[in-house]
Amino acid sequence: MENFELLAKPWWINLLIFIPIVAYYIWKKKGGITVSKKTLLISAFFGIAFGVVEAAVVIYLRASVGLLPGYGGTLAQVAKLSSDIYQQAMILSTLPKSFVSLEFMREVATMVMLVSVAFLAERSTRGRFAVFLWTFAVWDISYYAWLWFTVKWPVSLLSPDVLFLIPVPWFSQVWFALLVSVLTMGAVWVNRK
């Protein structure tokens, strides 16, 4: 646990841990949320598929600018070579400005897609928010799972990552993002009517 970092950066990113907690108590107080199992299952399928696409895009992006060692070889070679040096802060500072702009646009498009799924799935504001959070959490978990499956990164839950770039880069260890996602899924699931 020598490399464990409790806090994400910037400081306000740590407040994300309260989103599933506050949502849980609000939904519980208001009698739950009326999101069906079918809606959650279908939006989970979308989240999983989107996580796979997101992982592929990240791998291609980093390989295209030479930040993924072995990108010219097989996927197994990429996995072997990338796991030891996959440092997010270094990657962000090394990306050309045009790629950082591309990443920014990709993140905006990601939010539009996740919000769109929520609006298509539910009619109530509470239901839409629940589906958005659920799909976001499934997508996030799937993203990390597919990165690990394909290039064996993150090598541990303590691996550093750039979570988001909007409005500024968000840095934390992978465990933080996964914890928020798991808590979010739990808050949605237990408050479902």
Q: What is the dihedral of CA 69, 71, 76, 81, to 10 degrees?
A: 0
How many CB atoms lie under 10 A from the CB of residue 146? 19
How many CB atoms lie under 10 A from the CB of residue 160? 17
Average pLDDT per 10 consecutive residues for the chain, totaling 193 residues? 84 96 96 95 97 91 67 49 44 66 88 96 96 98 95 89 86 96 98 91
| pLDDT reported for residue 179 | 98
**Beta-bridge partner residues of 161:** 172
**167: preceding bond cis by omega (within 30 degrees):** yes
Residue recorded with tokens 């499934």: 138
Q: Pick from 33, 9, 25, 164: which is nearest to 92 by CA? A: 164
As a three-state string, the secondary structure of 50-106 is HHHHHHHHHHHHHHHCCCCCCCCCCHHHHHHHHCCCCCHHHHHHHCCHHHHHHHHHH
| pLDDT reported for residue 95 | 62
| pLDDT reported for residue 187 | 97
| pLDDT reported for residue 82 | 45
Enumerate long-range contacts of 18-21, CB under 8 Å, 24 or more apart.
Answer: 19/133, 19/180, 19/184, 20/133, 20/180, 20/183, 20/184, 20/186, 20/187, 21/183, 21/187
| pLDDT reported for residue 68 | 62
